[in-house]
Structure 1
């Protein structure tokens, strides 16, 4: 456990993110739950605790500086990445995570209950069928779909002045993006050699 906490704290520090003792504890508890439930729920192909910290937690934390204080929807959240990490780190904002797979939502609800994440809402639905009374200020995705498909399936949920935060690997530039105006940020994730990017897309440019 000391190895994991050191990995988490050092990685966060390299990204200029200061973790409180409570946040560190919750993130590591989340890691433990993910590894435990993964054995039967098939949440992730990554099973090594240190790799979970590097490729899941630190990767999710890497976009934190781009998240503002408006409500946020994590699309195709799976095990809760990055939505649960954002909810732990930013208790002042409303975070919703949506996934069509029931067992993954069951896991996320368990994490919410165990860690008492009061600003987190778990939605078991297909995102294109999701209807909400109030729009979301931000929509984020990590491993959901291509840029154009993500926008097509979720645009009805985004506020008029909202924006997308789409986490992508190095091959995203092969996607056909037509006339979508994108602000591209190269993201640094400690201990991860794969190239990571964040695509920021404002509603008015879609």
Structure 2
């Protein structure tokens, strides 16, 4: 079995455990993304995760775990880093307009190459601080980006009136809840079971109050 076959088996098994049904081309494209990230990571240090199998678990499956909660026609992924979860969601559920935001130039160069190489229609990368971004989005994602107070303080203006904010966290972020700014409310807190990942993962769903 080649390395790619082994990675594909790990990815497909994880998708099955998550109970997801993805488009036919999604798995090979996700593996293409992982391979591109692995290649660029060697030179540009985009992620601390170096092992390809760990990338499948910690990046791809971790991002896919929130897919059932994603909604709307437009999505902004704040502090996306190398495209997590934004690029993974673009491949797994195409058809949305997606804005990938990061302030790091190296990461944004990688994002633009990934969008081009993977032919991700409707996806664009922006090098910017979150507070300087314009527009409003049906869904906002942020993965291990900042505290809830900072996240909503910097990017709250980007959430459409009926939109939802999906904050991906490790441990249950109870200590952050008092810091949620006025005008926002918690809609739900979900424990995520990421296949192959022993660490705690939680998803905080917020909306406008």
| TM-score of the superposed pair, with normalisation by structure 1 | 0.94
In structure 2, what is the equivalent of residue 156 of structure 1?
157
In structure 1, what is the equivalent of residue 13 of structure 2?
10
Asked if 1 retains the 8 angstrom alpha-carbon contact of 2:23 and 2:93, the reply is no
Shift of 1:69: 2.7
Asked if 1 retains the 8 angstrom alpha-carbon contact of 2:76 and 2:101, the reply is yes
Asked if 1 retains the 8 angstrom alpha-carbon contact of 2:34 and 2:55, the reply is yes
Unmatched segments (≥5 aa) in structure 1: none
Shift of 1:171: 5.3
In structure 2, what is the equivalent of residue 139 of structure 1?
140
Unmatched segments (≥5 aa) in structure 2: none
Alignment of 1:60-139 (within 5 A): 60-132=63-135, 135-139=136-140
Shift of 1:172: 2.3
Alignment of 1:42-57 (within 5 A): 42-57=45-60
Where 1:44 maps in the other structure, the secondary structure is coil
1:193 aligns with 2:198: yes
Asked if 1 retains the 8 angstrom alpha-carbon contact of 2:23 and 2:92, the reply is no
Shift of 1:181: 3.2
String of CA shifts for 1:153-174, please: whole Å, max 9, x gaps. Answer: 0111111111210000015223
String of CA shifts for 1:124-143, please: whole Å, max 9, x gaps. Answer: 111101123xx111111002
The number of residues matched between the two structures is: 202
Asked if 2 retains the 8 angstrom alpha-carbon contact of 1:70 and 1:93, the reply is yes
| TM-score of the superposed pair, with normalisation by structure 2 | 0.93
String of CA shifts for 1:82-114, please: whole Å, max 9, x gaps. Answer: 000011111121111100011101001101100
Between the aligned partners of 2:163 and 2:23, the Cα distance in structure 1 is 29
